[in-house]
Structures are given as structure tokens and as C-alpha cells.
């Protein structure tokens, strides 16, 4: 287990939050819930068949028979009234576990939600955007992975943030800048080192042309103009220039990020998704995500190929996100 995950678990234990798992029908989720409770990481709510689920220490709720269904339906109808939602339609909708779980977070009955073991990202994200909406000052929701590798010379002792690896297919320059800024804020919430953001490309410092490389350079400039105090950022950078100091000295000697990056921003979803899976499978990295940033409350996705350990890790991270959001709200 990585030092990063150990820290997330310790932080989660210090101020326990309630996390709802919406996929009680999945055996991995049930096994993860038992481990989370045994390790005292979070208070757990599982949505599913009350008669079939037996997880000591967890709260089991069947959305279809819950005494909260009516009040959630009324609140959901009010939230979506401008979209034509009626109480009758909402009453049917909140019987869905993901919608019900998202309403739990909205109404303060849970602090965060984890889904995706047997549902698509769209199934997780749609209710989150409809009910919770984006965080103040955020235009774009994006997906990231925390990658914990045995290569301690990279990132923060082997831990890096990859984005966007799960959501935005082909972001334009402005969207790519939003992803970079959100990722820097996320890094600050979780990690000890300062964020060093590498905007990745097949080109380093305009060494090659092309629409994709130009987009990356434009996005880098936008971040520097709009978020200049948030992080150190540079691009376009090839991967080796972003991570390897000797290569950086050759390709980008004037860059403060090259050779020291701990956040890797990919130019599109294809590159990001392929990149994280290569690192996970070939380098034996622990990959936590796709986690979501930019939503007003913590909602996180899972890969449908996730393991029990992955679910435990994502729940710990979600609990820490809830702590951070609570602190930020109290400070306003």
C-alpha cells in the first residue's frame, strides 16, 4: 500500500464522514464496505436489498421502500422544476440508487458518494450535475486519477495526478486550462508538495507544430494569465521532459516544471485514458479513480474493472474531499 493511501486513511479516520455506496448488488462493493468499517475509515451507507445485504456496522437502505423517498422526490422535483420535473416523475426517479444516493448528499444525509463498479461514468455523473451542480467558480467537471507508482523519483515520492483520463473527450484550450487549474487545486488538497503542472504533448516548447500542440500551448498561457498564483505550469512538454531532469535540461532548460512535474495534463481523453492504463499495468501502479473534480459535493466514479482495494482507496479519498470541502465552506 502506498504512503499516499495510508495518509488518506489516517486523515479520513480523524474526522469520519458518511459515504454512500450505491451498488449493493456488487460483491466487490460489499467486501470493500466490510473492510472500510473494519479499518474505521468512514461511516458507510449501502443502497440495495435490505433483506439480502448483511454488512455489520453499515446502514442498509432500499431506495424503493425508504421513508426518505417522498421528501427526496419533492426536493428533486423542485431542483428540476425548470426542466419539467414533476413530483410524480421525481418519485419514480429517486427509486434509482444513484439518484437516491445523490439526493442523500444533497440533503446532508451523506457527505459523499462512490459509484461506478457496475455503472458507467454517465450514470454517476448525470445525477451529480442535475442535483449537486458544479462548485462555485467552476465551469467544467473533469476526471482525474491519483497514480501511486514504485518509481519514487517521480512526482511526490512516486505519486502523481493524471487528468483528464475519464470524462472530457477532446477539450479545447479553455477547457484544458480549467482541467489544469482544477487539478492544481485538487493536488493542494491532498498532497504536501507544491503543484507542478506539465501540459503534455508530442512537442516540447514548440519543437513541433500541429493543432494539438498549439492547443496545449494556448491552454498553458491561459492558466498563466488566469491562475498565475495557483501553481507552476509549463507546456507544451513531452512526457520525458516533464519527468526526467536530464532530459528536461536538454529540451527545456529554462522551465521550472520540466523534470519536476507531479501533475500531468493530457491533451485529450484518448491520451489520458491510455496513459493511466499503461502506467497501471506495466509499472504496477495503484490507480485511484476516475475521481471527479468541479462538483459542489464529493462524487467519485470507479472503473468497472476496479478491485476491492480500489474501492477502499476511493472511499478514503472521497472522505478527505468531504473534509476539505467542509473546511472551505466554513472559511467563506
Residue 287 lies in a domain: no
Task: Let me know whether 211 and 324 are in one domain.
Answer: no
The phi-psi region of residue 9 (left if phi > 0; otherwise alpha if psi is between -120 and 50; otherwise beta) is alpha
Task: Let me know whether 234 and 317 are in one domain.
Answer: no
CB 170 within 8 A of CB 268: yes
Using the 8-state DSSP alphabet, how is residue 257 labeled? S
Task: Let me know whether 14 and 102 are in one domain.
Answer: yes
Q: Strand 142-148 to strand 159-163: parallel, antiparallel, or no bridges (unpaired)?
A: antiparallel
pLDDT-derived band at 299, boundaries 50, 70, 90: very high
Residue 260 lies in a domain: yes
Q: Which percentage of the chain shows pLDDT scores above 90?
A: 70
CB 167 within 8 A of CB 142: yes
* CATH number reported for the structural domain that contains residue 177 in this entry: 3.40.50.10750
For residue 19, what is its C-alpha cell? 459515504
Q: Which pLDDT does position 45 carry in this prediction?
A: 96
**What confidence tens digit (pLDDT) does each residue in 18-62 have?**
999 999 888 999 999 999 999 999 999 999 888 888 888 999 999
Q: Which pLDDT does position 228 carry in this prediction?
A: 72
Task: Let me know whether 73 and 199 are in one domain.
Answer: no
Task: Let me know whether 278 and 148 are in one domain.
Answer: yes
| Residue-range definition of the domain harbouring residue 229 | 142-282
* CATH number reported for the structural domain that contains residue 84 in this entry: 3.40.50.10950
Task: Let me know whether 45 and 161 are in one domain.
Answer: no
Whole-prediction pTM value? 0.87
Residue 289 lies in a domain: no
- Residue recorded with cell 494539438: 212
Q: Which pLDDT does position 261 carry in this prediction?
A: 96
Q: What are phi and psi of 133, to 5 degrees?
A: 65, 175
**What confidence tens digit (pLDDT) does each residue in 211-243 have?**
999 999 999 999 998 887 777 899 899 999 999
Mean pLDDT value across residues 7-14:
95
Residue 288 lies in a domain: no
Residue 290 lies in a domain: no
Compute CA distances 272 → 91, 192, 201, 290, 293, whole Å.
38, 24, 11, 11, 16
Residue 226 lies in a domain: yes
Task: Let me know whether 52 and 156 are in one domain.
Answer: no
**What confidence tens digit (pLDDT) does each residue in 154-197 have?**
999 999 999 999 889 999 999 999 999 999 999 988 888 899 99
> With b meaning 16 or more CB within 10 Å and e meaning fewer, what string describes 71-101?
ebbebbbebbeeeebeeeebbebbbbbbbbb
Task: Let me know whether 152 and 268 are in one domain.
Answer: yes
pLDDT-derived band at 1, boundaries 50, 70, 90: low
Residue 159 lies in a domain: yes
Task: Let me know whether 167 and 91 are in one domain.
Answer: no
**What confidence tens digit (pLDDT) does each residue in 95-145 have?**
999 999 999 999 999 999 999 888 777 888 889 889 998 888 788 999 999
Q: List all residues 6 or more positions away from 18 whose beta carbon is below 8 Å from its beta carbon.
A: 42, 43, 44, 45, 109, 110, 111, 112
Residue 201 lies in a domain: yes
Distance spanning both ends of the chain, measured CA to CA = 36
Q: Is the pLDDT of residue 317 over 70?
A: yes
**What confidence tens digit (pLDDT) does each residue in 256-268 have?**
999 999 999 999 9
Q: How many structural domains are present in the chain?
A: 2
Task: Let me know whether 58 and 158 are in one domain.
Answer: no
For residue 34, what is its C-alpha cell? 466490510
* Average pLDDT of the chain to the nearest whole number: 91
Q: Which pLDDT does position 44 carry in this prediction?
A: 96
- DSSP labels for 123-141? HHHHHIIIII-BPTT----
Task: Let me know whether 126 and 159 are in one domain.
Answer: no
Q: Crossing angle, helix 308-331 and helix 3-14, to 10 degrees?
A: 50
Task: Let me know whether 74 and 98 are in one domain.
Answer: yes
Amino acid at each position: 500500500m502506498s504512503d499516499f493511501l495510508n495518509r488518506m486513511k489516517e486523515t479520513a479516520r480523524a474526522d469520519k464522514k458518511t459515504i454512500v455506496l450505491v451498488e449493493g448488488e456488487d460483491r466487490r462493493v460489499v467486501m470493500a464496505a466490510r473492510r472500510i468499517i473494519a479499518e474505521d475509515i468512514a461511516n458507510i451507507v449501502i443502497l440495495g436489498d435490505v433483506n439480502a445485504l448483511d454488512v455489520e456496522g453499515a446502514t442498509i437502505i432500499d431506495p424503493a421502500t425508504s421513508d426518505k423517498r417522498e421528501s427526496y422526490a419533492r426536493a428533486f422535483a423542485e431542483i428540476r422544476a425548470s426542466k419539467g420535473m414533476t413530483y410524480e416523475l421525481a418519485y419514480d426517479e429517486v427509486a434509482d440508487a444513484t439518484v437516491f444516493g445523490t439526493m442523500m448528499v444533497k440533503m446532508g444525509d451523506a457527505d459523499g458518494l462512490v459509484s461506478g463498479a457496475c455503472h458507467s461514468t454517465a450514470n454517476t455523473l448525470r445525477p451529480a450535475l442535475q442535483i449537486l451542480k458544479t462548485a462555485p467558480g467552476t465551469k467544467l467537471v473533469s476526471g482525474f486519477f491519483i497514480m501511486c507508482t514504485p518509481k519514487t523519483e517521480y512526482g511526490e515520492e512516486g505519486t502523481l495526478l493524471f487528468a483528464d483520463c475519464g470524462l472530457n473527450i477532446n477539450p479545447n484550450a479553455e477547457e484544458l486550462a480549467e482541467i489544469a487549474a482544477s487539478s492544481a487545486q485538487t493536488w493542494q488538497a491532498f498532497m504536501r508538495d507544491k503543484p507542478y503542472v506539465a501540459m503534455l504533448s508530442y512537442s516540447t516548447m514548440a519543437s513541433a507544430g500541429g493543432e494539438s500542440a498549439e492547443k496545449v500551448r494556448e491552454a498553458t498561457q491561459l492558466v498563466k494569465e488566469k491562475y498565475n498564483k495557483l501553481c507552476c505550469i509549463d507546456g507544451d512538454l513531452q512526457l520525458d521532459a516533464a519527468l526526467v531532469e536530464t532530459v528536461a535540461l536538454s529540451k527545456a532548460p529554462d522551465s521550472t516544471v520540466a523534470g519536476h512535474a507531479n501533475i500531468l495534463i493530457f491533451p485529450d481523453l484518448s491520451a489520458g485514458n491510455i496513459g493511466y492504463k499503461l502506467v497501471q499495468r506495466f509499472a504496477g501502479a495503484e490507480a485511484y479513480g476516475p475521481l471527479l473534480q468541479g462538483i459542489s459535493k464529493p462524487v467519485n466514479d470507479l472503473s468497472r474493472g476496479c478491485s476491492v482495494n480500489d474501492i477502499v482507496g476511493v472511499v478514503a479519498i472521497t472522505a478527505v474531499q468531504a473534509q476539505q470541502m467542509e473546511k472551505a465552506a466554513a472559511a467563506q
